[in-house]
């Protein structure tokens, strides 16, 4: 499968959201990544269902929705209706993760497991076969623009080994601190999807930045 970039809308200009979504549409990105934060699971609040619906009206890319919220199972159907094609829930927020992954798949979405930096890969052993993707957080969730956590490199290798061992087809997504310096190393180790926020939207030419990141991982 082709490896690709998923620009994070959290880093977009909210006053010009349609413009930035159209930029993603015209880019070489594979998905548009949307972070949903509730101020409880993470110490920040982003946006919710109405903004996701508004993004979906303009987006031509699949919406990769990352639920950084408590009790995500209560909102799965609503986010599917809002346009999500990929739904990721945090392993740390789901006491019945297997059931939640089944719910996501029954809705017709790809089921993702998001994993905080401190959570060991071994925690995924019993559920990796039921996931379409694992989103490894390479920063502490809640805020954009943070420095990449170096331990992520070894976590990718351990996750890749587990995916092979369990005969899973799960993609590996990296979220946080992705830039031109680390993108190729991440995909060489086994990552499939790279979420890039600040590095893309804070650049002078986001369209060019996405194209350069995409070329670097081919």
Alpha-helical (H) ranges within the chain are 17-25, 49-58, 76-82, 97-106, 152-165, 183-189, 198-201, 206-216
pLDDT for 120 equals 97
pLDDT for 141 equals 77
Tens digit of pLDDT for each residue in 19-41? Answer: 999 999 999 999 999 999 999 99
DSSP bridge pairs for 195: 6, 175
Q: Which 3 state secondary structure label does DSSP give 5?
A: strand
Are 131 and 113 contacting, i.e. CB atoms less than 8 angstroms apart? yes
pLDDT for 114 equals 98
The mean predicted confidence, pLDDT, of the chain is 96
In the predicted model, residues of the chain with pLDDT beneath 50 are none
Could you write out the DSSP letters of every residue in 54-115?
Answer: HHHHH--SPEEEEEESSSGGGTHHHHHHHTEEEEEEEGGG-TTHHHHHHHHHHTTSEEEEEE
Determine how β-strand 84-90 pairs with β-strand 133-137.
unpaired
Q: If residue 147 lies in a helix (H) or strand (E), which one and from where to where? A: none
Question: CB neighbours of 57 closer than 8 A, spacing ≥ 6?
Answer: none
pLDDT for 92 equals 97
DSSP bridge pairs for 172: 134
What is the spatial distance between Cα 203 and Cα 200, in angstroms, rounded to a whole number?
6
pLDDT for 143 equals 67
Range 4-216: architecture per CATH: Alpha-Beta Barrel (3.20)
Q: If residue 7 lies in a helix (H) or strand (E), which one and from where to where? A: strand 4-7
pTM of the complete model:
0.97
Catalytically active residues are: 35, 175
What is the spatial distance between Cα 121 and Cα 95, in angstroms, rounded to a whole number?
17
């Amino acid at each position: 499968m082709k490896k690709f970039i998923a620009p994070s809308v959290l880093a977009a200009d909210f006053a010009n959201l349609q413009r930035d979504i159209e930029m993603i549409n015209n880019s070489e990105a594979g998905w548009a990544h949307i972070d949903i934060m509730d101020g409880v699971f993470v110490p920040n609040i982003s946006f919710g269902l109405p903004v996701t619906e508004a993004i979906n009206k303009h987006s031509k890319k699949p919406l990769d929705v990352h639920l950084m919220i408590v009790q995500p199972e209560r909102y799965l159907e609503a986010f599917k209706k809002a346009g999500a094609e990929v739904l990721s829930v945090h392993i740390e927020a789901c006491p019945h993760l297997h059931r939640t992954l089944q719910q996501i798949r029954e809705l017709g979405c790809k089921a993702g497991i998001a994993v905080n930096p401190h959570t060991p890969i071994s925690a995924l052993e019993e559920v990796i076969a039921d996931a379409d993707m694992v989103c490894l957080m390479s920063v502490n969730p809640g805020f954009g623009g943070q420095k990449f956590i170096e331990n992520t490199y070894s976590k990718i290798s351990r996750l890749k080994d587990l995916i092979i061992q369990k005969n899973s087809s799960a993609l590996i997504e990296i979220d946080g601190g992705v830039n031109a310096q680390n993108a190729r190393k991440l995909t060489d180790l086994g990552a499939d999807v790279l979420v890039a926020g600040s590095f893309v939207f804070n650049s002078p030419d986001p369209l060019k930045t996405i194209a350069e990141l995409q070329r670097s991982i081919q």
